[in-house]
Amino acid sequence: MTMSEPLSVIAPDGATNGYDPGLSEAELLHCYRTMLRVRAFDEICLKLQRSGRIGFSIPNLGIEGTQVGAASAFEKSDWLFPSYRDFGMALYHGITPLEMMHNMYGNAQDTAKGRQMPVHFSFDKPIRFVSISSPIGTHIPQAVGAAYASKLRGEDTVMLASFGDGGTSSLGFHSGLNFAGVWKAPVVFLCQNNGWAISCPVEEQTSSDGFAIKAEAYGMPGVVVDGNDVLAVRKTMLEAVERARSGGGPTLVECKTFRMGGHSTSDDPSRYVPAEQREEWEKKDPVLRFERFLEASGMWKAKDKEPMYSEALDEMSAAASEAEAVPKPGLESIFTDVYAELPPHLRRQGQELFELGKRKGDAAAGDGEFPL
């Protein structure tokens, strides 16, 4: 079986095939601003990492269309189980850059209290954005389990499991899709096929005709979409979400896109990505494509871009400065958020830690008295 050509809505000149995304002008501009804000967040975080102020970051350059198009299909009551390259989903739904920057620094206001790596965001509002997992694919069966629980409770909730092409090589992908198919769980699987799993090309990930075709074995539809076309992604995801919400079961959506930056700020993609491949995908830049649509629709002019991007940069820079000034998590945070009542053996260990901190001159240890 050969999969069809990826679904697209926006033509190269910005025209559409008549599809109505059901979004107002303000909502369409929100999609555009979100993509610019993702790029601004990336730019600021790269500077922070290069100057040694944060540990690392994950570039999103080229993937913004998939992130924003997918995010626009979900309600605030739904649950997102994201990959670590889904900044646009968080920003689209109103999670603030400052909240995200707290995690980049791992400070005292970080939701994970510094226990997670940077870009491992977790938020419960304004949308349920589940903690990102470093081990590839582990969140896929978690999303399926949450979806099945929601179904058993009779809730009107849909889960998103978002992952890269490399995630399809994980055990979690196969077990997750298998159970979702059997249970008809209300979950949408989003495979962001960006060409590379770090330095491993797609051709070395699978011998099948892409990834959407794998859905057939698990008893669900598989759809291929142009991941650099925001509206095409929205259209596909809306249909998959509606299918899940109405009891029709899961869908596997493969978005064909391209990571134009490194896997992370610790990666040099020029060592393995052919220059001509990057140049080819630069012409398909999702931001430029959406700009042509907005311009053709009379909602945007080229002169608007620079001030809008400058505003986004200022917003991200201010968030970084504020987060950098927040103190690191207190020593006692090592022992919190696990037990309702701290067991005696951990209380003894906590007291020993604070006494050690006082002897070593750690101001966070105060007078050496363990506060829990």
Distance CA 269, CA 275 (A): 10
Residue 1, pLDDT score: 40
Percent of the chain with pLDDT over 90: 93
Say if residue 139's pLDDT is above 70.
yes
Whether the ω angle into residue 274 lies within 30 degrees of 0, i.e. cis, is no
Paired with 162 in beta bridges are 190
pLDDT tens by residue, 315-342: 999 999 999 999 999 999 999 988 999 9
pLDDT tens by residue, 156-213: 999 999 999 999 999 999 999 999 999 999 999 999 999 999 999 999 999 999 999 9
pLDDT tens by residue, 31-60: 999 999 999 999 999 999 999 999 999 999
Ordered DSSP codes for 127-178? SEEPPPPSSTTTHHHHHHHHHHHHHHHT----EEEEEEGGGGGSHHHHHHHH
Mean pLDDT for 217-246 is 98
For 187, the 3-state DSSP assignment is: strand
As given in the structure block, the two tokens for residue 313 are: 């940069």
**SS3 letters across 189-255:** EEEEECCEECCEEHHHCCCCCCCHHHHHHHCCCEEEEECCCHHHHHHHHHHHHHHHHCCCCCEEEEE
The per-residue pLDDT of the chain, averaged, comes to 95
Residue 337, pLDDT score: 84
Ordered DSSP codes for 249-284? --EEEEEE----S-SSTT--GGGTS-HHHHHHHHTT
As given in the structure block, the two tokens for residue 28 are: 């369409």
| Beta-carbon contacts of residue 303 (< 8 Å; ≥ 6 apart) | none
Residue 286, pLDDT score: 97
* Residues annotated catalytic, as ranges: 259, 263, 272
Confidence of residue 2 (pLDDT cuts 50, 70, 90): very low
Q: What is the pTM of this model?
A: 0.94
Confidence of residue 3 (pLDDT cuts 50, 70, 90): low
Q: Are 144 and 131 in contact (CB under 8 A)?
A: no
